Chains A and B, each alone.
Chain A
Amino acid sequence: MKLLINTIVLASCIGTACTIGAIAVGAEKIPASSIPAEYLVQPASLAASLQSNSGPRPLILHVGFRKLFDEAHIVAAEYVGEADESEGLAALRERVAKLPKDSAIVIYCGCCPWNKCPNMGAAFSALRSFGFSNVKALYIAKDFGTDWVDKGYPVTTGG
């Protein structure tokens, strides 16, 4: 019995460590499609909440590429960087390090079609592994231009 308990605990801990480690070094490709539907927020819904002045706004983090962010990004969004890379994940971890675990966070990228995005799955998985319970992923079906800018939702430019 003792051996069984020890084995289970050890296997569990090693599994956790390996998962987090793989995320941290960006070694694991996590598709955006792995994000459960209940954690997705649609562009129209987020735009409406940003345009209304009621209630606290979520922290909006851009987990994609700098040049695309500099061209246009959601008003009040902060650049974190490519969640597909270890530097981006480190920046994400640092940005949220002091936040309460129930903080409302919205992540987005929009670099390319949802099922081809290299960043969203990694960012979402990382935030969940950090213990954040109120994380939403902005569902951008095609790209940020088509699904946000062209629809006239609020954007700003520059870094």
Chain B
Amino acid sequence: MAPLRCALGVAAVCACLSMSIVVAGETAEPAGRLNTIAPDFTRIDMSGRPLRLDQFKGRVVLLNFWATWCGPCIEEIPVFSRWQRQYGDARLQVIGVSMDDEESAVKHFLAKHDVPYPILMGDAKLGKSFGGVYGLPQSFLIDAHGKIVFRNVGELNLEALRLQIEGLIGIH
């Protein structure tokens, strides 16, 4: 009887412990917009500067939708950073659009990582204007005339994209 009483007592304590520890809706846009003019937008970037997509006409833009919780996105950022440094003078402009729900998460990320291109906060409206950003990462390559010439959902083939960028900016 004593072991049973002891067991019940321990179980009751554990149950209380567990309780205290456990704290505890049309049609979407068709994905894409490939081969169309990229929709213009204006946002304030994370450094406080206004950014308008159309201001980059004449440059090739790599528009990357990402988030701090997205593992594949984080892996791509150092590569995009390198490209921005390497090809920036040759008219490549990378723009990062964070789809994080909390701006603080992005600020925290940028405080720890040197990202040499503008980052801005995205939202559902911006995602929908690009045909729907329903999953991450997602990247768009926009040519110097403002046309979306490439779209990728998910992890990129970075080498293939690098070659395409070099083709667009005339480096071969």
Within 8 A of A (CB), among B121-147: 122-124, 127-128, 132-137
Q: Interface centre among B7, B13, B25, B132, by most A CB within 10 Å?
A: B25
Tell me how many residues of B have a C-beta within 8 Å of chain A: 43
- A30 to nearest B CB, angstroms? 14
- Determine the distance from Cα of A75 to Cα of B27 in the docked complex, in whole angstroms: 10
Are B132 and A149 in contact (CB-based, < 8 A)?
Answer: yes
Contact present for B135 and A142 (CB under 8 Å): yes
Chain A interface: which size bin?
35 or more
Interface residues, chain B, with chain A CB atoms under 8 Å away: 2-3, 6-7, 10-11, 13-15, 17-18, 21-28, 30-31, 67, 69-72, 99-101, 122-124, 127-128, 132-137, 153-155
Chain A residues within CB distance 8 Å of chain B? 1-2, 5-6, 9-10, 13-14, 16-17, 20-21, 23-25, 65-68, 70-73, 75-78, 82, 84, 86, 89-90, 93-94, 110-113, 116, 118, 142-146, 148-150, 155-158
Supplied contacts A5-B6, A65-B99, 8 more A-B pairs, CB within 8 Å: A9-B6, A68-B133, A71-B28, A71-B128, A76-B25, A93-B22, A143-B135, A157-B128
